[in-house]
Amino acid sequence: MLAAAALALAGALFTGCAENVDSFIEYSLSDELYVDGQRISSYEYAELAADVGDLIAETEALFDAEAEGSDVFRINAAAAGEAVTVDARTYALLSLCKQLYAETDGAFTPALYDLSELWGFTPAYEGRYSDPRPQPSAEAVAEALTHSDFSGVTLGAGNTVTKADGETKIDLGGVAKGYMTDLVSALIEERYAGHTVEYSAEVMSNLILAGGKHDSGSVRGYNIGITDPRAATTGTAQGLYLTSVRDAAISTSSDAYRFYVYEGNIYSHIIDPHTGAPSQNGVISVTVCVPLSAEYAGARADAYSTAGFCMPLTDALAFYARLAEEYGVTAVVITQDFCYYTVGSGTVLNRKEYADYIGSPLTVENVYTFAEISSASDTVARCEQEEAYIAYIAGLH
């Protein structure tokens, strides 16, 4: 039922960590947690991990659109003009969403619940996401779009949320998990205020890495493997790598999670608010790394990685270049012609380069080809391997 993580701490998967099993949200907190350079005791870790678990469960309950009484449920059920009082954490996230909405020119918008439902990507479709299905009618999509305007959602005093259109429904799925990593981080930082804390935590494809990785006395950056979005046919687990990462939040969005193939096209769970349909910009995976110096780095990484699917490719690359300047963001964009683009100053290695970097004796092949940003075009042709992947997926269902 849970998505495979789209990121991995390469060669250093959490050896010991707290993980939940009951909740829908999969998270982990590495037990390699250092305070002022000293690893904390297992007792202290267990206590902290339990609090992190409670925090995840609590926030999941606030943001779950399907759970009666949750903040999001109540906002969605509210009539036009009705003020709904929400938890301060929901309010803070919605305030941040306003900023993200503006920053992405509306490409990132949480007001898309109706469209997600229309295309069959809400939790009610769990277990059926990959079933091939015809498109919803153009009328139904146009109708849902008229109710999907996030600018009609206003945030008022006393943590209140009011909708101009009673039909508008929000869905925080594109940002909530990254935001949860920020909350986990705030909890840990508060507990050890005045000390230097190093830790790593993950909430479903959203990683937060505070400090570096302790390795037999030395501390170095983490190496992060980016899950190959075409692993089903390429057979490789990691398509590319980000190396020497520390003090950063990292998120990957891909079209290989919650998607189906119908008449030779991939329809995945990221909806382009310009069309009301699953994004079709030729992008198959985006990984965004945001330094922790940016406020809400986790939520930003999550939202930014989603947004790159809802802009023409050249606009997405220009958008990441702006984020690189403003926050020091690094972005890795993989396209359906099996090329990849990198933006920002982080180190991105292809499979062969990574094997050399870690001195691996194994022979590996590259799956994706590095492409210069100047060569990017908004029309991205599918390559042969992409056609083979689509045919393979179609054959499974």
Pick from 34, 63, 121, 129: which binds ligand ADP (CB under 6 A)?
121
Confirm or reject binding of residue 71 to Mg ion (CB under 5 A). Answer: no
Pick from 153, 288, 310, 311: which binds ligand ADP (CB under 6 A)?
310
Cα(46)–Cα(13) distance, integer angstroms: 19
Binding string, 299-318, against Mg ion, x = CB under 5 A?
Answer: ---x---x------------
Confirm or reject binding of residue 298 to ligand ADP (CB under 6 A). Answer: no
Burial (0-12, 13-18, 19+ Cβ within 10 Å), 119: buried
* Helix intervals (H) in the chain: 42-63, 71-77, 88-103, 113-118, 138-146, 176-191, 231-234, 297-307, 313-327, 351-357, 384-396
Q: With CB under 6 A as the contact rule, which of the stretches 9-17, 253-261, 289-297, 367-375 interacts with ligand ADP?
A: 253-261
269 binds, among ligand ADP, Mg ion, none (CB under 5 to 8 A by kind): ligand ADP
Confirm or reject binding of residue 174 to Mg ion (CB under 5 A). Answer: yes
- Beta partners for 252? 287
Pick from 269, 300, 351, 382: which binds ligand ADP (CB under 6 A)?
269
278 binds, among ligand ADP, Mg ion, none (CB under 5 to 8 A by kind): none
Q: Given the complex with ligand ADP, which of 188 and 204 has the nearer CB atom? A: 204
Using alpha carbons, select from 187, 231, 177, 237 the residue that is nearest to residue 210.
187
Pick from 59, 90, 148, 205: which binds ligand ADP (CB under 6 A)?
205
CB of 214 to ligand ADP, least distance (A): 28
109 binds, among ligand ADP, Mg ion, none (CB under 5 to 8 A by kind): ligand ADP
Count of CB atoms within 10 A of residue 315's CB? Answer: 15
CA torsion 257-262-265-269 (nearest 10°) is -30
Q: Given the complex with ligand ADP, which of 173 and 211 has the nearer CB atom? A: 173
Pick from 76, 116, 148, 227: which binds ligand ADP (CB under 6 A)?
116
**Which tokens in the block code for residue 66?**
């399907």
Taking CA 108 as the corner, what is the angle to CA 96 and CA 254, rounded to the nearest 5 degrees? 120
Taking CA 306 as the corner, what is the angle to CA 301 and CA 308, rounded to the nearest 5 degrees? 100
Cα(257)–Cα(178) distance, integer angstroms: 17
Residue nearest to ligand ADP (CB): 173
CA dihedral sign of residues 114, 144, 85, 181: positive
Cβ(232)–Cβ(385) below 8 Å: no
Pick from 89, 110, 267, 288: which binds ligand ADP (CB under 6 A)?
110
Q: In the window 325-354, what residues touch Mg ion (CB under 5 A)?
A: none
Cα(242)–Cα(225) distance, integer angstroms: 6
**Which tokens in the block code for residue 159?**
């943590």
Pick from 109, 148, 223, 287: which binds ligand ADP (CB under 6 A)?
109
354 binds, among Mg ion, ligand ADP, none (CB under 5 to 8 A by kind): none
| Residue type for position 172 | L
DSSP letter (8 states) at residue 67: S
The residues of the shown chain that bind ligand ADP, judged by CB under 6 A, are 108-110, 112, 116, 121, 171, 173-174, 177, 205, 253, 257-258, 269-271, 273, 302, 305-306, 310
The residues of the shown chain that bind Mg ion, judged by CB under 5 A, are 174, 253, 302, 306
